[in-house]
Structure 1
């Protein structure tokens, strides 16, 4: 799951710019020239991975929550809520924040990409694709019980599981197209020019998967996902999780920076999970 966490941290600063660009594009009166300049700045691969203000967001918090629930055999919903309350103000969506503050555990039919960005620990912890899909559904539906929310989690979990087991990119692509009807035939170069910020599973998960499919290594995966100019931290987390499983190697400088930003306590959880389930990075 380190691949997801590092992707989230690297994408944290870029996501803020991309969301601002999205809001600007929705304004009735706007400076189109300024918007085009900003688009040119955001839709690129040659950026500094760590810009000085990177931090972990809700993507990391929720990934850790799922890992903790698995390791300690605790319910997903209660653990997710506990972690969200422990780490407030990390960029949670409005409906999720209401759910966090409430004592009610009822899910709210979300189809946002929150179910997909937190699911990677499931794929490393269970031994068969059938188990992984069932656990992905269980981890998603405590909040994201809309069919698209569940499918997003299952698709990402399946991709991570298959990548970790040594399946080829084409096998992964074909499985996801056949099972979830995801449009994975295009490339990042095809998608990037017209792609806009989208925090739904349907509008962001396939693109994050394509970033992995197009890339040559872990860092390239992260750069491609962020270069879309969309929900950068979440798409980098999703793509990064699959890339870690596939390449089995995250550059040392990225690991080091991620460790510093997480701090000792959270890093121990990451290491403990990887050691328990034999995850390589």
Structure 2
């Protein structure tokens, strides 16, 4: 799970100031966790303690209302309506929020069927558009397959066959023309491709951020997959934890204790 958070932090300052190169300071004091990490941790908390996942997303977002970069507009409206009515209803989004917060799901289950079911549940409480669900499921499945020791080629072929994503491009080939796209269909394939093109965990993150666009979310999704495939260097794991408040550190530690970290 810490791979999602590391990607988010590394990309945080480039979300609105894109950088089309892999050469940049990886972690600096100016960077920090965003809504991507907050909601990823909410997913982990839900998986650890059960209940309604929408309640966890609502609780975390209202407890931590001002992350770096803020929450998305439609998600903020979902929060506002929940506060006013006490009801948390999905709003048909195909945004990439469903994919950026799903990382823990990929670690928590023993079968592909269970993983896809939980990914659907985690998405559908807000992002119940078919593309929103698809993006979450594709991301979670990549993590599951990477944990299971599958090769990059196996992961690519499985995701293409199951979700009809076209991954026959390279990040080098699209970098100059890729633009901001906060939908799942405009983010998840690119994030998966960044993982496929990367040579180690950090290189995967750098590749994702170098595309531009919604940099922190791209890197969050890529990082969630790259962690399961490559593991996390202990020094990077420790650095990421230093960015997090105590409660977040406790959730990470509890989740890794139950489901296992991937430290290289």
Q: TM-score band (shorter)?
A: over 0.9
Is 1:57 aligned with 2:34?
A: yes
Q: Cα offset for 1:193?
A: 1.1
Verify the 8 A CA contact 1:159 1:172 in the aligned structure 2: yes
Q: Residue 25 of structure 2: which of 40, 45, 48 is its match?
A: 48
Verify the 8 A CA contact 1:124 1:279 in the aligned structure 2: no
Number of the residue aligned with 2:105: 122
Q: Cα offset for 1:179?
A: 1.1
Q: Cα offset for 1:100?
A: 1.1
CA distance in 1, matches of 2:182, 2:109: 27
Q: Which runs of 5+ in 2 are unaligned?
A: none
Number of the residue aligned with 1:201: 184
Number of the residue aligned with 1:7: 7
Number of the residue aligned with 2:201: 218
Cα deviation, 1:163-207, whole Å, max 9, x if unaligned, reads 011000000000111111111111111111100011100001100
Number of the residue aligned with 2:141: 158
Q: Residue 79 of structure 1: which of 47, 53, 56 is its match?
A: 56
Is 1:242 aligned with 2:221?
A: no
Cα deviation, 1:110-163, whole Å, max 9, x if unaligned, reads 000000000011110111000000000000000000000000000000000000
Q: Residue 66 of structure 2: which of 82, 89, 95 is its match?
A: 89
CA distance in 1, matches of 2:21, 2:235: 21
CA distance in 2, matches of 1:111, 1:192: 23
Number of the residue aligned with 2:241: 259
CA distance in 2, matches of 1:74, 1:2: 23
CA distance in 2, matches of 1:166, 1:44: 30
Number of the residue aligned with 1:270: 252
Verify the 8 A CA contact 1:219 1:251 in the aligned structure 2: no
Q: What secondary structure does 1:145 align onto? A: coil
CA distance in 2, matches of 1:200, 1:128: 27
TM-score normalized by the length of structure 1: 0.89
Cα deviation, 1:9-30, whole Å, max 9, x if unaligned, reads 1100111213xxxxxxxxxxxx
Where is the helix percentage greater, Structure 1 or Structure 2?
1
Q: Residue 100 of structure 1: which of 61, 79, 82 is its match?
A: 79
Counterparts in 2 of 1:19-30, with a 5 A limit?
Answer: none
Q: Which runs of 5+ in 1 are unaligned?
A: 19-41
Verify the 8 A CA contact 1:13 1:51 in the aligned structure 2: no
Q: Cα offset for 1:53?
A: 1.0
Number of the residue aligned with 2:43: 66
Cα deviation, 1:25-54, whole Å, max 9, x if unaligned, reads xxxxxxxxxxxxxxxxx1000100123211
